[in-house]
Amino acid sequence: MSESALPLKGQVAVVTGASRGIGRSIAMKLASEGADLVLSARGVEGVEAVAAAVREECPDCRVLPLGCDVSDWDSVSALVDRTLEEFDRLDFLVNNAGITRDNLVLRMKQEEWDAVIATNLTGVFNTCRLVARQMLRQRSGRIINITSVVGLLGNAGQVNYAASKGGIISLSYSLAREMASRGVLVNAVAPGFIETDMTAAMSDEAQEAMADSIPLSRIGKPEEISSVVAFLCSPGASYITGEVIRVDGGLATGC
């Protein structure tokens, strides 16, 4: 694509949880479409490695790797301040950082509940609250929150994760209504079962059983999520807000 044809050229994206898996793929995809990037995760070496890969593939892309814990208000505040210092604008926020701490409810420890809610749900609140002022001032912006089909279907052993992901969906609906009149669009993407470190911990048998339950009979790839995120950032998605797009091979059909 010639540089002038890049759809996201001149726009700035903040991606959380960008050091691996789906977040890494989102970073590479948005860079390939011309966006400048702020890449964050708690481990700064991970985002520095992704930033190096972005620079290699997209030499014109400006990319800033930063350590940030989304569950910590001051850490997110520093991330947003640094972004605005460097780029003076913020067009896309992709809330991708997430963790699991699975257990059946009777065995679930308070720390397992708290950690998942703090990262997955409070983290999204923190980033949205801190970027909202800038986007409202610009009268433009797109927020894309990565939820999960588990937030729609529930899942045994994941009451904490399901609650956090269901919460992201309701938060996205509400924020879409709050920000629409100022040109800021808020949507969620709900992946099914995607091949990343988060799912690699499952046994081969469990992965096969999961694949068998998916109408498309296979696990998804991170690139199948990042292409949808890039679409939601693109001019073609200008009339979509308050939507949850399932990308799950048909797993949650009917929800």
> Taking the complex as a whole, how short is the minimal distance between the CB of residue 3 and ligand NAP, in angstroms?
29
β-strand 63-67 against 92-95: which pairing, if any? unpaired
By CB under 6 A, residue 74 contacts ligand NAP: no
By CB under 6 A, residue 23 contacts ligand NAP: yes
By CB under 6 A, residue 69 contacts ligand NAP: yes
Residue tagged active-site, from 87, 113, 125, 161:
161
Q: How far apart are CA 190 and CA 246, in angstroms?
A: 5
> Taking the complex as a whole, how short is the minimal distance between the CB of residue 17 and ligand NAP, in angstroms?
3
Of 58 and 70, the one with the shorter C-beta distance to ligand NAP is: 70
Single residue of 61, 70, 184, 230 touching ligand NAP by CB under 6 A: 70
Sign of CA dihedral 110, 115, 121, 126: positive
Of 120 and 134, the one with the shorter C-beta distance to ligand NAP is: 120
DSSP string across 5-25: G-TTTT-EEEEESTTSHHHHH
Burial of 80 (0-12, 13-18, 19+ CB in 10 A): buried
DSSP string across 159-179: HHHHHHHHHHHHHHHHHHHHH
- The footprint of ligand NAP on residues 105-164 (CB under 6 A) is 119, 123, 146, 148
What residues act catalytically?
A: 161
- Give the footprint of ligand NAP on this chain (CB under 6 A): 16-23, 41-43, 46, 68-71, 96-99, 119, 123, 146, 148, 191, 193-194, 196-199
